Structure 1
Amino acid sequence: MTDLDPLVASVPALAGRVHSAAKLSELMRNNALPQVCPAAFVLPLGLRGGRADAVTGLFRQEIEWLEGVLLVVRAAGDATGAKAKAELRPLIDAVIAAIAGWGEPDGFGTWVLRKGELVSLSAGTLTYQLDFAIDDQLRIAR
């Protein structure tokens, strides 16, 4: 499975501003915000199992890896959210363009967009999450 961090970091507005889930956890624990915005956090969201089949000596199952990209944009002093929205929309488009359709040359699948949604608009920040998925397959010799 491909690590999304370098793909997200390829977005010019996010260069040097892509962080891990551990960093987000630390900020949340300290009730803090990223020092520089816009910022992004790449989050492992889990995996989903799909159709399985078994033949003598082999078990196969389709799986889908899920990762999220949490975008944080400052919205302080922006009562209507219009300024933050104007900054966020091109950022969303750029992250989708950097990830969707990308896959390892020898890999099984390519990244697809699953959903995007506003997570929070509070404390002077707008937080938006994009969820991506990539197909893979388990192959276990039995």
Structure 2
Amino acid sequence: MIDDVISRLDDRVVVLEHRVEGAGSLADLMQRNALPQHTPAAHVLPLGLIGRAQDAGAGAYTQMFEEAVAVILTVRNHTPAGKRALEDLRGLIMAVVEALAGWAPADQTGVFRLTRGSLLNASKGTVVYQIDFAISDQLRVFS
């Protein structure tokens, strides 16, 4: 699903075209204590599963769950206090939300919903912001 989200952002958020990558790229940057060479940039990370209501009966177990993903945005700007970066960030955040909220990869039963967004870091002319999304699905186990 991460690859589908990356493709969707690459296609729908023009300013991120060819600047959306996965967890491996972010891990490499963190290991080198570096930032993306060109910004704005985005990294899509799996956040895990969130269990919801379950039901068991007649040889079957079903449970609703959500699969969560994060989009980490990095915007660099060298103006005083990063003012321009903060202004640009709002538009970028909304473009990402509009690209993913209400959409689902072809094999999913639910659609993505926005769960939260938060500022991770704002220093040295760079702003890093995380947007979390979740998509509903259903687990079915037959005994």
TM-score, structure 1 normalization: 0.93
Query: How far is 1:137 from its partner?
Result: 0.5
Q: Secondary structure at the match of 1:31?
A: coil
Counterpart in 2 of 1:18? Answer: 20
Who is 1:70 aligned against?
72
Q: 8 Å contact 2:39–2:75 — kept in the other structure?
A: yes
Q: Shift in Å at residue 76 of structure 1? A: 2.6
What root-mean-square deviation, in Å, do the aligned CA atoms of Structure 1 and Structure 2 show? 1.4
In 2: Cα distance, 1:106 partner to 1:21 partner: 22
Identity of aligned residues (%): 46
CA contact (8 A) 1:49 1:62 kept: yes
Partner of 1:94: 95
List runs of 5+ in structure 2 lacking aligned partners: none
Q: Which runs of 5+ in 1 are unaligned?
A: none
Asked if the contact 1:78/1:84 (under 8 Å) is kept, the reply is no
Change in Cα spacing, 1:85 to 1:48, as seen in structure 2 (3 Å) is same
> Aligned pair 1:53/2:50, yes or no?
no
Distance in 2, Cα, partners of 1:106 & 1:69: 21
Indicate yes or no: 2:33 matched with 1:40: no
Which residue matches 2:110? 109
